[in-house]
Amino acid sequence: MTQIAADQLTHLKERADRTIIVHKNGDLEAYIRYEPPIDMFEIARTTPTGKIEVEAVEQRSLLGLVGENPVDLKPLTKTYHSIDGERVHLWKLVDDRHDCVLYVNRQEATE
């Protein structure tokens, strides 16, 4: 399972226009994307209060989550979050630093 997870994450790194959607116990667990400017993956989880928690992580820390749970590989534009009943693109909210986004450990790229 670890090799399959590594392959999926490598594919995601090569296709930054994609996201992995992780399901756990039949529920949506997290969204994962590769973020080239910081050379790390980002994992986003929605909270019961409607916030989006985003954490920058390295590939090795995602192997268990991706390897042990069902995943879907989708275009980034197919990730949605609801704000006041309106469906909006989750990663656009993250990129725009919307008020509903909480960064756990954001690292900015340095020149």
Q: Identify the residue whose tokens are 């960064």.
A: 103
The DSSP result for 9-72, as a single string, is HHHHHH-TTEEEEEEETTEEEEEEEEEGGGTEEEEEEE-TTS-EEEEEE-GGGGHHHHHHS-EE
On whether the 2-103 domain is CATH 1.10.3720.10, my answer is: no
Give whole-number Cα distances, 53 to 11, 20, 39, 83, in Å: 24, 16, 19, 15
Tokens representing residue 8 in the block: 């999926």
Instruction: Quote the pLDDT of residue 44.
Output: 95
Alpha-carbon dihedral sign for residues 110, 35, 44, 99:
positive
pLDDT in tens, 22-44: 998 878 889 999 999 999 999 99
Asked if the model's pLDDT at residue 107 lies above 70, the reply is no
Q: What is the arithmetic mean of pLDDT over 80-106?
A: 87
Element (H, E) at 82: strand 80-83
Tokens representing residue 80 in the block: 């949605």
- For residue 102, give the 3-state DSSP assignment: strand
Instruction: Quote the pLDDT of residue 16.
Output: 87
Domain map of the chain by residue range?
A: 2-103
Q: What is the arithmetic mean of pLDDT over 56-80?
A: 91
